[in-house]
A and B are shown apart, each in its own frame.
Chain A
Amino acid sequence: MIRINVNGQSRTVDVAPQETLASTLRYKLGLTGTKLGCNRGECGACTVLVDDTSTYACSVLTHSVKNARVETVEGLESADGTLHPVQQAFVEELSPQCGYCTPGQIMAAVGLLRENPNPTRQEARMGLSGNICRCGSYDSYLDGVMRAAQIG
């Protein structure tokens, strides 16, 4: 059993030595917003923030983050249900298509905006380039990031 800090809460969880953070989040903690597209660091659907840095949860062992702050898409909304500015902007721009890569895109965008609150479109493009969208909604995701920077 180890303790990890997920979305501001300390969680106690039984973790196997070889278990990835994505598996722990999805299958032990029920946080299924973090998606597995490839489970091997190709697609970015499992992107979460570890100490504010965008991280592929499929490629990190849970034991390695036990002293870190892990944030997933489920942790972004306020307690009163108000969407995070990135989520709100993605709704307004209708950024998602199928939605499967959306949580990863959102976490990458949140990570980017914490580091660079007013990115250029080119910087946003670089910041989200580790997240594949097979629907090809890149243009709408970039529109969402730029709007989030305005309203954030």
Chain B
Amino acid sequence: MAYMHIGKDFVPPDVNGKVTGRIKYAEDYTREGMVYARLLTSPIPHARVVNIDASEALAMDGVFGLLTADDVYPDGEPQSTGLKVLTNEPTLVGEPILALAAIDEQTAETAISKISVTFERLPFVLDPLDSLTEGGPDAYNGGNTYVFRQGFATEKWSADQVASFRAGNEPTAEPQQTFSYGDLDAALADSAFVYESGFTTAGYPHQSMEPRSAMAYWENGKLYLHGTSQSLSALADGMASIVGVPQEDFVFINEATGGGFGQRARANSIPSMAIPAKMSQKINRPVMMRVTRDEETAIGGARQGFQGWIKCGFKADGTMAAADLYIISDNGGKGGGGDAYSAADCISILYQTEAVRFRGTSIGSNTGHRGAQRGPGQNQIAAIISPILDKAAEELGIDRLKIREINTPQTGDVGGARRTPFTSAYMPEALKMGAEKFNLQERMARSRQRNGSKVTGIGIGQGYHNAGRSGMDGIVLLTADGRLKVHNGVGNLGTYSFASTSRAAAEVLQMPWERVDIVTGRTDRNLPITSPQDGSNSIFTNTRTNYGAAQDLLAKMKEIAALELGGDAADYDFAEERVFKSADASVGMSFAEIAQKGIELGGKFTGESDLPEELNDFTKISVSRLAGQSLMGIYHDNPHSNNPPGFTVTFTEIEMDTETGKYEIVDMVTIGDCGTVVHPQGLKNQLVGGAVWGIGLAGYERHLYDPQNGLPASTGYWQSKIPTMMDTPAKIQTGWVDLPDPENPVGARGIGEPAMGAVAASLASAISDSLNGHLFNSAPVTADMIINHVAGVTSDAVPLAQNNFRG
């Protein structure tokens, strides 16, 4: 289909501000009379605040006030997991206890040094399996796990059960959570090759470049909060509730966000922004709270680590017949997410496994706050499963690409725990495209070839994440001067999806891009509700809403033309910003004339009546404020059925130096299947950015804690090492299938998270290949692990250790 905007590159409106430094992040704002808040955070991994004596600090010149958990939660802290705004019951080092505001940061720091906090130390634990062991410490005050809708609970295994699990054996204890389908025993019996092992994946922090600084002030009863979030309207929706202010009195200002990666999508993952808001309310001054890198690392989220056991069966023809997983997922200090379930779901989907059983239990540790991180679950397991597929291929004498083709998901298939059909799936096309672009057959001849200490490794990986939602709202306006305004509540974390999804509306009306304004950046610009910008959903979800709103606008435009010029709306067509009679193009009105007439008519044409009944309350507030001003297209998107997947395939060649454990990524080709491509440069950025994240997961990133005192040894970029330019390929080749998804009006699906998984999987596969097919069953595989393996050194690390080398 020939599109005007879809599939074409464009200059998103925020790029100029990013290259000139003019675009503002939360910390770049100032306000007259602004004072500065600093935090006192817990120095202890698990404690209870017994007393706070701030009398000396509060008596200092230039100090304006103190905010504690008692101020934020006058009725007591919620007894649940999840970060609190401030707490008297810290369960990780770095958790904010109190904030103090002063004339400048130096005064605030000096005053904080004069505050005496008495802590009662409580037992702490770093490795979930230590907590799971009978008699082991519990990370939380109410136990070592949290059961949704039931509260804190305690899970314990015998020491023998834990030791057996650490030794790589199938756990025997009852799991908290399970799903299964198919006849697992029969599938294993049918298998010609069965692989069984323990495995571990590390937790590590998100490390967004912009610390979660925030500035707030109150004016005429309204709260204005300059913050940082992946989402805009969805964040505001939740944050107003955390601060305790009515939705209509809360303005969230967020022009740009310095990275999110899952941890800034929802208000409850970034409650620290409520601190300057509550402080400002208390002392009646604008309050800036700058957050340091240490603080960001402590409360900025971390990926859940896995301690797991896996058993996979493959038939003689290469079909993956069975996958059996048991995963203990690390919930960290404040509760976690559903990574383990998603991991099993991902295997089912990516490999169309005939029988799957998942068993999982989440256990807390007094380590970083866990939550969704780019492909939570899917991407950890991608790095574990891909080398197992290679092993099966080797044992069964099947080509490594072929075994993936045999098990590939495709349109018409179902997948996952609920056996959900795909809306479409073009993984076979992606595999074929990638293999050709990578010249796989020729490269495979180099697999495991040695040149001195260097050995070539070839890797293949696949990634998946569900990539689309529905049920949100859209608002577009046609103003009296004939410009199209797309009100977009998607956040701006760097994907440009706030702009690319707006192009769906421009496409409907065939509007030149320079005649389109995207209204975004702050919630008092009257935005529709959107889904939080996580889960790779935005391009699918919000092209649906913007397309629908533009269709509503177009229908109203034709109706107005018919009212003015006679006939029925169906008699009219449009082109080049003009609506005209299909039978006589000379009879028509310009878009501007139609907008002016619509404003004159009012009522349903301008959002004053006949609104969709299902509109979200957030959207209703915006519509009520916009009503009567412009011709309005408004749309509530009814939920779709089935699973719109995002799929990726990556091929990697590495040159492994077996003397140092370092490897150079010689070449990498990564292909996306995300339906119709809306914005090629944006897609390329997601693919190469996901690649860097995948390299980090498979090769570098893990956080460590001091087992003696529970102090974080990883408080910044270099200790939990994120890849630099020197760790990543000089050039990453990208490509895309570009076939439409039928559940989206422009054919699009998401890609952000799977972009990482395929790369992690292919790098793990290439590392294994370079070492004669050795399986580490671990992510990351670091240089020390590689040279120990090459040297035949048996590690003395505790098996399946989490958050430390030795547990």
Chain A residues close to B by CB (< 8 Å): 26, 31-40, 42-43, 45, 72-74, 76-77, 83, 87, 90-91, 93-103, 106, 121-122, 125-126, 128-129, 131-142
Contact = CB atoms under 8 A, between A and B. Distances in A.
Given A32-B21, A40-B293, A136-B688, 4 more contacts: A35-B25, A93-B681, A132-B724, A135-B209
A78 to B, nearest CB: 12
A32 B210 contact: no
Given A43-B717, A73-B20, A136-B688, A98 B726 contact: no
A99 B292 CA distance: 19
Contact of B685 (A31, A33, A91, A137): A137
Nearest to A87: B19
Given A129-B724, A129-B725, A37 B18 contact: no
14 contacts: A34-B21, A38-B716, A45-B209, A83-B16, A94-B15, A97-B689, A98-B257, A99-B17, A100-B210, A126-B726, A136-B689, A138-B688, A138-B725, A142-B725
Contact of A96 (B19, B27, B210): B19
B226 to A, nearest CB: 12
A86 to B, nearest CB: 8
Nearest to A76: B20
Contacts of A36: 27, 211
B229 to A, nearest CB: 12
Contacts of B691: 136, 139
Given A43-B717, A135-B494, A142-B731, A99 B18 contact: yes
Interface string B277-315: 000000000000000110000000000000000000000
Contact of A99 (B256, B689, B717): B256
A90 B25 CA distance: 19
Given A98-B257, A99-B18, A132 B722 contact: yes
B261 interface: yes
Interface of B: 9, 11-12, 14-25, 27-28, 207-211, 256-261, 292-293, 493-496, 681-682, 684-685, 688-693, 716-718, 722-726, 728-732
A33 to B, nearest CB: 2
Contacts of B690: 136
Contacts of A136: 688-693, 723, 728
Contact of A73 (B21, B692, B732): B21
A42 B716 contact: yes
Contacts of B729: 139
A151 B690 CA distance: 29
Contacts of A77: 20
A134 B19 contact: no
Contacts of B208: 98, 100, 134
Contacts of A95: 19
Of B25, B692, B724, chain A has the most CB atoms within 10 Å of the CB of: B724
B28 A37 contact: no
Of B11, B682, B692, chain A has the most CB atoms within 10 Å of the CB of: B692
A121 B728 CA distance: 13
Contacts of A100: 25, 208-210, 256, 258-259
Nearest to A16: B106
B256 A98 contact: yes
A142 B546 CA distance: 34
Contacts of B724: 129, 132
Contact of A137 (B14, B16, B689, B726): B689
A132 B692 CA distance: 11
A132 B19 contact: no
Nearest to A95: B19
Contacts of B18: 96, 99, 102
Nearest to A101: B209
Contacts of A142: 725, 730-731
A132 B717 contact: yes
A134 B25 CA distance: 16
Of A95, A102, A103, A131, chain B has the most CB atoms within 10 Å of the CB of: A102
B685 A140 contact: yes
Contacts of A121: 730-731
Of B18, B292, B493, B682, chain A has the most CB atoms within 10 Å of the CB of: B18
Contacts of A76: 20
B228 to A, nearest CB: 10
Contacts of A98: 208-210, 256-260, 493-494
B365 to A, nearest CB: 24
A132 B718 CA distance: 10
A47 B103 CA distance: 28
B20 A90 contact: no
Contacts of A83: 16, 19-20
Contacts of A97: 259, 494-495, 685, 689
Of B22, B209, B693, B729, chain A has the most CB atoms within 10 Å of the CB of: B209
A43 B210 CA distance: 11
Given A40-B293, A45-B209, A137-B688, A94 B682 contact: yes
Contacts of B25: 35, 100
A134 B732 contact: no
B16 A134 contact: no
B209 A139 contact: no
A35 B209 CA distance: 9
B730 A32 contact: no
A9 B402 CA distance: 64
Nearest to A97: B494
A77 B19 CA distance: 10
Contacts of B496: 94
Contact of B494 (A74, A91, A99, A139): A99
Of B20, B207, B718, B722, chain A has the most CB atoms within 10 Å of the CB of: B20
Contact of B722 (A90, A103, A134): A134
A73 B14 CA distance: 16
A125 B725 contact: yes
A90 B19 contact: yes
Contacts of A135: 209, 259, 494, 685, 689, 692
A70 B22 CA distance: 18
Contacts of A141: 725
A42 B23 contact: no
Given A37-B209, A136-B723, A106 B685 contact: no
Nearest to A91: B15
Contacts of A132: 209, 717, 722, 724
A91 B12 CA distance: 9
B210 A103 contact: no
A29 to B, nearest CB: 12
A126 B20 CA distance: 23
Contact of A32 (B11, B16, B28, B258): B28
B293 A106 contact: no
A128 B210 contact: no
Contacts of B684: 94, 139-140
A32 B292 contact: no
Contacts of A37: 209-211, 258, 293
Nearest to B729: A139
Nearest to B692: A136
Contacts of A138: 688, 692, 725, 728
Of B261, B682, B726, chain A has the most CB atoms within 10 Å of the CB of: B726
B209 A43 contact: yes
Contacts of B716: 38, 40, 42
Contacts of B495: 97
9 tightest A-B CB contacts, nearest first: A33-B21, A136-B692, A100-B258, A98-B494, A99-B18, A97-B494, A136-B689, A139-B688, A32-B28
Contacts of A137: 685, 688-689
B486 to A, nearest CB: 20
Nearest to B728: A138
A121 B256 CA distance: 30
Nearest to B733: A139
Contacts of B258: 35, 37, 98-100
Contacts of B23: 99
Nearest to B297: A38
Of B16, B211, B258, chain A has the most CB atoms within 10 Å of the CB of: B258
